[in-house]
Amino acid sequence: MGHGTFLVPPESGVSGNLRHVKLKIMKKSLFIIAIAALMGTMGCEGEYVDEQPADVTYEQGVAPGPDYVWIDGDWVWSGGRYTYQKGHWDHGRAGHTYAKGSWTHTAHGYHWNKGHWN
């Protein structure tokens, strides 16, 4: 609608323009509420399990060279559950150390905190 257009006849005065403004505000408000609700449900989905998965053990083998660091396996959220990805050897990073991942228990259940370089 262009400038000066009304949802009701112009003879109804300012109230017609006011209704148009209120309608626009209401539509924007509903859109914002819908986006907020969608974001809220996305944050509540998954990545929590009732029980912490059992530790996985396997041979890590020998480092392929003197500058390699063992990166412990990580749990990855996929398809509504955690799956384990084996560890691997990686080149060390000068001045950094690798912090292995760990489980956190919350009111929602267990959540995996990925390993990372410090």
What's residue 12's pLDDT?
Answer: 54
Q: Could you tell me if 15 and 52 lie in one domain?
A: no
Spatial separation of the C-alpha atoms in residues 59 and 57, rounded to whole Å? 7
Amino acid at site 57: T
Report DSSP state, residue 112. Answer: E
> Does residue 25 fall inside a structural domain?
yes
Average pLDDT for 46-52 = 89
Domain range for 26: 10-44
Q: Could you tell me if 31 and 65 lie in one domain?
A: no
> Does residue 108 fall inside a structural domain?
yes
What's residue 58's pLDDT?
Answer: 86
pLDDT digits (tens, 9 = 90+) for 55-106: 888 888 999 999 999 999 999 999 889 999 999 999 999 999 999 999 999 9
In the block, tokens 């560890």 appear at 87
Three-state SS at 73: coil
Pairing of strands 102-106, 98-99: unpaired
Average pLDDT for 22-30 = 74
What's residue 24's pLDDT?
Answer: 79
> Does residue 94 fall inside a structural domain?
yes
Give the pTM: 0.56
Q: Could you tell me if 17 and 57 lie in one domain?
A: no
